[in-house]
Structure 1
Amino acid sequence: MKKILLIAMLVVAVGTAKAQEFKPFQLYVGVGYTIPEGGGGVLFDVEPAYRLNDAIALGLRWETALMGRVVGDTEASIAGTSSYTVNGKYYFSNNKFRPYVGAGLGLFGLASVSVGQDAAGAAAETKFGFYPRIGFDLGHFNINIDYNIIGASEAQGFDSNGEETTFDVKNSYIGIRIGGFFFGGRK
């Protein structure tokens, strides 16, 4: 009985197995534009990924973003964000044009310099964040957009009347990137 069950499982496994069309390891490199509330900036990222199959890839993302923005009434802020995250992608096709959706989560290191009417300050902290993303691969070329959702930080500063105040600095931003990947193409 055990031999019959084992043979049946083997036949089902071999019958449903499909050869993977794409190489399993992929290394993506990209540059792009950030859109935080009240400003903009640039980003650079590196993403190694492993394809579990042609439709699902799991990866890591290291991203650095530099942003300028207006915070509060008269506050200017320059922020640098580094993220170290894990992510997943689901591809909708195996054609040359491969649209996908995905999501990631991990740690975002935040550093900022604020300048107001009467004072300047600097701060650094680490927060947990999440990002949904959409994009596509076209050959070894890639475009994607993600929304990095990061909790707000509290900052001290001065309002337009010169009075000391506390305000929230929103850390979330949209990242639009273009890049390419090495390896990971068709076998």
Structure 2
Amino acid sequence: MKHFFALCVALTFAVTAQAQEFKPFKVNVSIGGAIPSGGGGVLFAIEPKYGINDQIDVGLRLESALMARDLTVNGNTSSGNAQGAFSYILTGNYMLSDEGFRPFVGIGAGIYGIAGTGFTATSGTGGSTTNGNINAASVFGGMGRVGFKTGHFVLGVEYNFIPNSNSIVYDSNGTNKIGTSVQSKNSYAGIKIGFDIGGGRR
């Protein structure tokens, strides 16, 4: 009986020690480069995360990116103004290892706020130009990521899948179409370095 009681106590302490080893809540803070089609910029992100266990995190990524992106006007590529993009993304991450070096993969989905951008369109006949813009919009999109974590340091690469924005531009009289196929490619990649505050093992 004594041996059985001692075994129960030992198992209880072992389970308790293992439970105390894992701290579920953490906040990731990252900076990096934003790479849209034909342009570039910078980004900043903060992502509170909760660990369901030591290998699976769920979180909310709040990201702001400032970047210039390509536009397609009448089939020709043109550069737009540098504008911001904001996102509120529910995320899920899976750690591929429980060692010190921890590769991970992840996905996410949520709302992207795309700022408007200006451009200049040229008509094909008269050669006249007019300034136009693509209006700001909020759209639903997705995200995929890969990276690794070592200690609290995190390096990741993400791709944000965002629907393109489209617009039609008219001349000053409001009658003749200057750009019948004005499109902004909103998707962008992000290369990020950051660190986790909290989480990990005790």
SS at match of 1:182: strand
Q: Is the 8 A contact 1:75 1:114 kept in 2?
A: no
Aligned residues: 169
Alignment of 1:31-42 (within 5 A): 31-42=31-42
- Show structure 1 runs of 5+ residues with no match: 1-13
Q: Paired residue for 2:163?
A: 151
Structure 1 stretches of at least 4 aligned residues deviating more than 3 Å after TM superposition: none
Q: Paired residue for 2:135?
A: 123
Q: Paired residue for 2:78?
A: 75
Deviation at 1:120, TM superposition (A): 3.5
Output the CA distance in 2 between the equivalents of 1:178 and 1:135: 10
Equivalent residue for 2:195, pick from 169, 180, 183: 180
Q: Is the 8 A contact 1:106 1:128 kept in 2?
A: yes
Deviation at 1:69, TM superposition (A): 2.4
Q: Percent identity?
A: 42
Q: Is the 8 A contact 2:134 2:167 kept in 1?
A: no
Query: Which residue type is aligned with residue 102 of structure 2?
Result: R
Equivalent residue for 2:92, pick from 64, 88, 94: 88
SS at match of 1:118: strand
Output the CA distance in 2 between the equivalents of 1:164 and 1:94: 54
SS at match of 1:28: strand
Query: Which residue type is aligned with residue 37 of structure 2?
Result: E
Normalising by structure 2, what TM-score? 0.77
Q: Paired residue for 1:114?
A: 118
Q: Based on CA coordinates, which of the two structures has the bigger radius of gyration?
A: 2
Q: Does 1:102 align with 2:106?
A: yes
Q: Is the 8 A contact 2:69 2:185 kept in 1?
A: no
| RMSD of aligned alpha carbons | 2.1
Output the CA distance in 2 between the equivalents of 1:180 and 1:115: 38
